[in-house]
Structure 1
Amino acid sequence: MRRLALMLALLASPALATLAPGAKAPDFTTRGAMAGKVFNVTLSQQLKRGPVVLYFFPAAFTSGCNAEARAFADKVGEFRAAGATVIGMSADPVEQLRKFSATECAGKFAVASAGPGVVSGYDVAFPRQIGGRTVTSRTSYVIGRDGRIAFVHNDMNPAEHVTMTLAAVRQLAPKSTGGAR
């Protein structure tokens, strides 16, 4: 029943403000998990490898968030081929995300716990608490290797986040010159 109330509240709420393309992405270090293993996640370290898709989701183990995680997991190879790392973020505790990373994310990408500083820095706080706890909006950021926001998609419907962020990452990929090798 609590999950149903959360889903209905999220769907009935308007879109929120977000960081604009061109803005500097706030760096952070937080705890996350991948394939059930807990570790520290630092944005600046991830950006050394290439662009980062940082997607915020309201709550692990809710239908929309499960579907979105599975969709990112299905396409993670395409994100990697384009040079990007995918990181899911929510205000859920890391123990909840540890389980979520192994099941819904199929162990294919990291999910991390967004504390108050990260939630505020990325302007993703849902306008009200749900069940007495902070919830993030469903907002996807593509962050270029330079640490700047390249693309933002803010929509509580998870349907287009994967498609749109993958297209944005592909736009960041260096173009082949077709010259001699």
Structure 2
Amino acid sequence: MAERLVPGDSAPDFSLQDSTGRTVGLKDFKGRSTVVYFYPAAATPGCTKQACDFRDSLASLSAAGYDVVGISPDPVAKLATFAENEGLTFPLLSDPDHKVAEAYAAWGEKKNYGKTYDGLIRSTVVVGPDGKVALAQYNVRATGHVAKLRRDLKLDL
């Protein structure tokens, strides 16, 4: 597993398909701050709550200069259904081989009900306009995460 990213690190580049089949890369957001969040599975309760929180904060985040991108190991078709069902208008990217999640240290050992396995670690990395990590948060909670992120970015002052 890659070392966790810290502010000042260069954000790993990526290029993945979104829910419409279009290829989206980190370079597409150059010059703006980008919230890259990793979630385990589309259409599950926690991931739906988190995605809807981002959806509901999208206008204010955008006005503050932040774009939002969600990344999961789900296939494009599942992301398309998730985006349509929840009215999600920001890119949802498919990382089926979890290479991008690994590069961002969002893939690794997890424990659940006494079992240990490798999986996606709910994480958020804010990439600055210069391509450097501005903020990296790992093992975040789905509920309340967007509000905490807004506070950490000093957007609710």
1:159 aligns with 2:143: yes
What is the letter of the counterpart of residue 26 of structure 1?
A: P
**Equivalence map 1:61-100=2 (5 Å):** 61-100=43-82
Give the alignment's TM-score, normalised by structure 2: 0.84
**What is the aligned residue count?**
149
**Alpha-carbon deviation of 1:126?**
3.6
Task: Tell me the alpha carbon deviations over residues 54-95 of structure 1, each in whole angstroms, 9 at most, x when there is no partner.
Answer: 000011111100100111100000111011110001111111
1:31 aligns with 2:14: no
SS in 2 for 1:53: strand
- Pair 1:160–1:21, CA change in 2 (3 A): farther
Higher helix fraction (1 or 2): 1
Q: Which runs of 5+ in 1 are unaligned?
A: 1-16, 172-181
- Pair 1:163–1:113, CA change in 2 (3 A): same
Structure 2 distance, partners of 1:47, 1:129, is: 36
Give the alignment's TM-score, normalised by structure 1: 0.73
Structure 2 distance, partners of 1:129, 1:91, is: 18
Residue matched to 1:174: none
Higher strand fraction (1 or 2): 2
**Alpha-carbon deviation of 1:134?**
6.6
**Alpha-carbon deviation of 1:38?**
2.7
1:113 aligns with 2:97: no
For the Cα contact (< 8 Å) 2:126–2:135, is it kept in 1?
A: yes
Q: Which runs of 5+ in 2 are unaligned?
A: none
**Larger-Rg structure:** 1
Residue matched to 2:105: 123
Residue matched to 1:21: 7
For the Cα contact (< 8 Å) 1:141–1:149, is it kept in 2?
A: yes
**Alpha-carbon deviation of 1:128?**
5.5
Residue matched to 1:147: 131
Structure 1 window deviating more from structure 2 (62-71 vs 111-120): it is: 111-120
Task: Tell me the alpha carbon deviations over residues 6-39 of structure 1, each in whole angstroms, 9 at most, x when there is no partner.
Answer: xxxxxxxxxxx63111111001111012xxx331
Structure 1 window deviating more from structure 2 (94-103 vs 160-169): it is: 160-169
Percent identity, aligned pairs only, is 30
Structure 2 distance, partners of 1:108, 1:116, is: 23
How large is the Cα RMSD of the aligned pairs?
2.4
